[in-house]
Structure 1
């Protein structure tokens, strides 16, 4: 890593192609344009977070740091608001859990999930304009952090940048790229779900 750049900058560069592939294939604007499309997208995100959050928690071993970043509860709240019941939400399909082998890989995977909260502000505003939802009702996943988004990202970035070894950087980069690709495949493949 070059001096002063930090691991977050390296991950941004090394995951750029995977990030662009996800954005290209996801076509979020079309998916959130209708309530069924939006509900299905949230159901897919729920299945992804249901697999990834526990794996990250185990590999990271720092509940205090991770707990305020978990997004399963806001996803469930949004899905309830959109008409799914608790049993249907619990029955949603889940992605395969990742194989994470320590703090660096956990933070690399979390880099993808945390980074999505930044872009999620734009998506959340679009959903609010289309459907009238807010951070309390229907858009908690995208907008529930409110003014805390920047502070949570800054503290995550500081934690990531504290990893200075080359082996740690490579592990974080591998995990981040794998998470972007797994998210792309999971969110973009057509499947029937309880949210349909």
Structure 2
């Protein structure tokens, strides 16, 4: 008699994607990115808000992940600054852009949960970048944030998922990671969808 087939358990990525789906959908619905990027001014405003978010969250993630070799190529704050410069925002105005308050992440698992949100956005960002390029005639300049890893996007995401799965055998770490990912989606929605002025714009 053949042994019974073992029950297959989805990997951490599949479980995390399911757990964060409501928060992810809420962010997409609230953001309405196509309307936001329809004008150059709207696109610049969205990038300015993203700059503030990344400034706070990349710092918090880096402090807890403690692996700059892994994180450095995934940081996109400088890409946002380059795009804003291309769109006419002065360096002093970029430095003065508003940011969310300080974020506390509880260890590497929480940092990976938050990074899941930021790194996952590079996938949909390829589509958004092509849409913006068609609207406003940009090539690489002005699209650094949404181009992100460019042709390496798939490979970078695969490497991230491999790192992510290392937390899948620890239920406590998975719970922490999942909670952080949901909270990051919610924080991003609250920040990007609230009204903010853009210093130096106009």
Aligned CA RMSD, in angstroms, stands at 1.2
Cα distance between partner residues in 1 of 2:74 and 2:123 = 13
Contact 1:134 1:143 in 2 (8 A): no
Q: Which residue of 2 aligns with 1:141?
A: 145
Partner SS for 1:68: helix
Query: 2:160 pairs with 156, 159, 164, which one?
Result: 156
Partner SS for 1:114: helix
Q: Which residue of 2 aligns with 1:177?
A: 182
Q: Cα deviation per residue 1:113-149 (whole Å; 9 max; x = unaligned)? A: 00000010110010000011123x1000001421010
Are 2:155 and 1:124 equivalent residues in the alignment?
no
Query: 1:35 pairs with 34, 37, 40, which one?
Result: 40
Query: 1:5 pairs with 3, 10, 33, which one?
Result: 10
Are 2:83 and 1:78 equivalent residues in the alignment?
yes
Are 2:41 and 1:48 equivalent residues in the alignment?
no
Deviating above 3 A after TM superposition, structure 1's stretches of 4 or more consecutive aligned residues are none
**Unmatched segments (≥5 aa) in structure 2:** 1-6
Query: 2:26 pairs with 13, 21, 26, which one?
Result: 21
Pairs aligned (count) = 194
- What TM-score comes out, normalization by structure 1 length? 0.96
Cα distance between partner residues in 2 of 1:120 and 1:134 = 14
Cα distance between partner residues in 2 of 1:20 and 1:173 = 16
Are 2:125 and 1:110 equivalent residues in the alignment?
no
Shift of 1:97: 2.8
Shift of 1:60: 0.3
**Unmatched segments (≥5 aa) in structure 1:** none
- What TM-score comes out, normalization by structure 2 length? 0.93
Shift of 1:8: 1.3
Contact 1:134 1:140 in 2 (8 A): no
Cα distance between partner residues in 2 of 1:129 and 1:98 = 36
